[in-house]
Amino acid sequence: MKKQFVIIGIIVLLSSIQLSGCEEQNIIQADKEKFIGTWYGNQVSDFYGSQNITIIFNSSGNVDWGDSLPHTYRVEGDKLYIGYGELASGEDAYIYSFKNDYQTLTLSLLNPSTENDTKLIIYLNKQ
């Protein structure tokens, strides 16, 4: 009888752990879907000053960053990772925040890949 309670307890514990992992994945997927579309705005850095920028996120995980490199993106927790594809290695991590019913997006660079990107913040509005 005691064994049955232990086995049932283990099954309940494992099930709750697995279900909480599913919920986190659903939240991340929901956030990823909020990025999809065309965003216009301004990027501000200590080195380059202020520049207009257009960023297009698509549902396949690719992003057009306005240059000739093929970029990818992924969302993990409160971070957005932009990868540089086959032509350049690595990725940049940004903390992101949405406002105005997910129509305004702010990206703050966490790990500059060059000295020129020491402080980079991107302010975007969805079209």
For residue 87, what pLDDT is reported?
A: 59
DSSP codes of every residue in 59-102: TTSEEE-SSSS-EEEEEETTEEEEE-TTTS--EEEEEEEEETTT
For residue 104, what pLDDT is reported?
A: 96
pLDDT band at 24 (very low <50, low <70, confident <90, very high): very low
This prediction has a pTM of 0.70
Q: Does 7 or 45 have the greater pLDDT score?
A: 45
- Is residue 76 pLDDT above 60, yes or no? yes
Domain annotation for the chain: domains and CATH numbers? 2-126 (2.40.128.10)
Spatial distance between the Cα atoms of 126 and 110, rounded to a whole number of angstroms: 22
User: Which residue type does 50 have?
Assistant: S
Q: Does 24 or 86 have the greater pLDDT score?
A: 86
Q: Does 91 or 63 have the greater pLDDT score?
A: 63
